[in-house]
Amino acid sequence: DAKTTQPPSMDCAEGRAANLPCNHSTISGNEYVYWYRQIHSQGPQYIIHGLKNNETNEMASLIITEDRKSSTLILPHATLRDTAVYYCIVRGGSQGNLIFGKGTKLSVKP
Amino acid sequence: DGGITQSPKYLFRKEGQNVTLSCEQNLNHDAMYWYRQDPGQGLRLIYYSQIVNDFQKGDIAEGYSVSREKKESFPLTVTSAQKNPTAFYLCASSIDRGRGNIQYFGAGTRLSVL
């Protein structure tokens, strides 16, 4: 089972910030939080990941709470092309594979 | 361009037929993975390989086989034993640089049964 909990869907107005929450209350001390997104009928795309510090790259920002039990992915200026399913993943499994849940379907509206 | 190439994009299988999905990467990544995605669902791991000539079963390996003879290639065969093969198949590769393990995905192969 996935080790994360995300809302099934969210809406965001174009040009506004999209804030996608994720709960991962059972995360272990050495596990990273990864965010991927999947646009319809395409392969998942890596967005960002972090361990305990906040992270920022050209796509997004990742805010991780001090107790590491939750995090928020921030898309600062959402566009229509950001409409996708967003997956929050805590790297788990003995194989090192990514355990994907059902994610959050983000709809960016004009 | 560097990346992961999956082929074909669409594939059709007849009853009792084995089919092979290709996955090639030129990222010099050590690890490669095969996932299956059913409509409206997350990804499930079929097989993975950490190094050449070695691979392990994932959560849903029954009815599938793989090989890893070259670092760049990790083909997946869907055998006739897989009774429900219709799905979207995704290949990924990764390298661990000591700060997490980022997986990069191909564009996928959509397999249907005739």
Q: What are the pLDDT tens digits along chain B (114 aa)?
A: 569 999 999 999 888 899 999 999 999 999 999 999 998 888 999 999 999 999 999 999 999 999 999 999 999 999 998 989 999 999 999 987 777 788 999 999 999 988
Is B41 in Cβ contact with A95 (below 8 Å)? no
CA distance A52 to chain B (A): 12
Nearest-CA residue of chain A relative to B46?
Answer: A97
Out of B40, B44, B108, the one facing A43 most closely (by C-beta) is: B108
Least confident window among A26-35, A84-93, B8-17: A84-93
- Say what the pLDDT of residue B55 is: 96
Question: Chains A and B: how many Cβ contacts under 8 Å?
Answer: 60
Q: CA B64, B68, B69 angle in degrees (round to 5)?
A: 135
Q: Tens digit of pLDDT for each residue in A45-66?
A: 999 999 988 999 999 999 999 9
Mean per-residue pLDDT, A62-71: 95
Which whole-number Å values give the CA distances from A46 to A87, B67, B81, B114, in the listed order? Answer: 10, 26, 33, 34
Helix and strand numbers (H, E) in chain A are 0, 9
Q: Which residue has the tokens 């429900």?
A: B84
Strand pairing report for A9-13 and A104-109: parallel
Residue A93 has pLDDT above 50, yes or no: no
Q: Which residue has the tokens 């290639």?
A: B73
Give the residue, A87 or A30, on which the prediction is more confident. Answer: A87
CA distance A7 to chain B (A): 14
pLDDT confidence band for A2 (50 / 70 / 90): low
Helix, strand, or coil here: A98? coil
Contacts with A, B 42-81, CB within 8 Å: 42-45, 48, 50, 56, 58
Q: Radius of gyration (Cα) for chain A, nearest Å?
A: 13
